[in-house]
Amino acid sequence: MGLLDGKVAIITGAGGGLGEAYAKLFAKEGASVVVNDVGSTVDGLGTSAAAEKVVAEIVMVGGRAVANADDVSNPAGGENILRSAIDAFGQVDILICNAGILRDRTFANTSEEDWDLVNKVHLKGTYCCTLPVWKWLKDNGRPGVIIMTSSTSGLFGNFGQANYGAAKAGIYGLVRVLSIEGRKYGIRVMGVAPNAVTRMWADVSGIRDEELDSILRPENVAPGVLFMASELAADHSGKVLAVSGQEVAEVRMLMTEGFHPEGSYTAQDVAAHVPSVFFPADLKRLHRKA
């Protein structure tokens, strides 16, 4: 038996990279999969038959899958992606919001177009795909799992990715809110901050390490996401996991002990309590891109 026998999963941006790895592993574990991909280039331009190729490879080994090429970044696209699942398989149980693009610039060089498009695909796209699935699960009284893709660029920051980081930080907030709202409906919501070498990172400057690249393959992220989507993670909602071939670790927003004035206080009072206000410097760590 597979971990996802009888389940139907929608995976956006599944024509390559991480989404493709998720789709193939989910199908192997018994899920019927809607492979969504508009076929765009990394910066959001162009078209291809990427989704159909992944579907053909899944079907060839005995899996069940259908392709969908709708744009995640508008409400009609989100509705059509859900409709593909209902028409083909009669239900939906799992949504993985994975589709994304990059337009990296330093903040001073980030145009309004660069800002809007990246936020439209990542943050609005997550909204557009989640809302119809959320309503369908709620209205049909069915439990479900929604996994949204955040990033260490949003959770910790990364040079040259103000637009991307802002969108990914917004997704973290959405995970937290929907995990609270989903409790009464049996809808689990989790976030993943994946670290893998994909085409989105192919042009990122830096020295490539073949041994590290072999560890940071999308296929080494997929088992962590499978865990999140399966009943193995039934007791976990509202949590974000950093996942790669090197680690699977929860990421949390934390507070220090803090300074607790009784009523009015001065800026100098805050300065006097700096050791309680801030985390110790030795708790800082170098966070890899994702």
User: Would you kindly state where each structural domain of the chain is located, as residue ranges?
Assistant: 8-254
Q: How far apart are the first and last CA of the chain?
A: 32
What is the arrangement of strands in the sheet containing 64-68, beginning at the earlier edge strand?
64-68, 32-36, 8-11, 94-97, 144-149, 187-194, 240-243, 248-251
Query: For residue 105, what is the DSSP state?
Result: B
Residues in contact with 165: Cβ distance below 8 Å, sequence separation at least 6, in sequence order: 151, 153, 154, 157, 158
pTM reported for the whole predicted model? 0.91
CA distances to 53, 221, 228 from 242, in Å = 29, 9, 12
pLDDT of residue 285: 54
Catalytically active residues are 164
Contact assessment for residue 84 and residue 136, using Cβ atoms and an 8 Å cutoff: no
Place of tokens 């999308």: 218
Q: Is 65 helix (H, G, I), strand (E, B) or coil?
A: strand
- From 261, 283, 96, select the one nearest 192 (Cα to Cα): 96
φ, ψ (nearest 5 deg) of residue 16: -175, 175
pLDDT of residue 207: 46
pLDDT of residue 183: 97
Tokens of 93: 């149980």
pLDDT of residue 196: 83
Q: What is the pLDDT along the chain (290 residues), one digit of tens a residue?
A: 899 999 999 999 999 999 999 999 999 999 999 999 997 665 545 455 899 999 999 999 999 999 999 999 999 999 999 999 999 999 999 999 999 999 999 999 999 999 999 999 999 999 999 999 999 999 999 999 999 999 989 899 999 999 999 999 999 999 999 999 999 999 999 999 999 876 555 444 454 556 666 677 899 999 999 999 999 999 999 999 999 988 999 999 999 999 999 999 999 999 999 999 999 876 555 444 44
pLDDT of residue 282: 64
Contact assessment for residue 270 and residue 259, using Cβ atoms and an 8 Å cutoff: yes
pLDDT of residue 201: 52
Of the CATH numbers 3.40.50.720, 3.30.360.10, 1.10.1040.10, 3.30.499.10, which one belongs to the domain with range 8-254?
Answer: 3.40.50.720
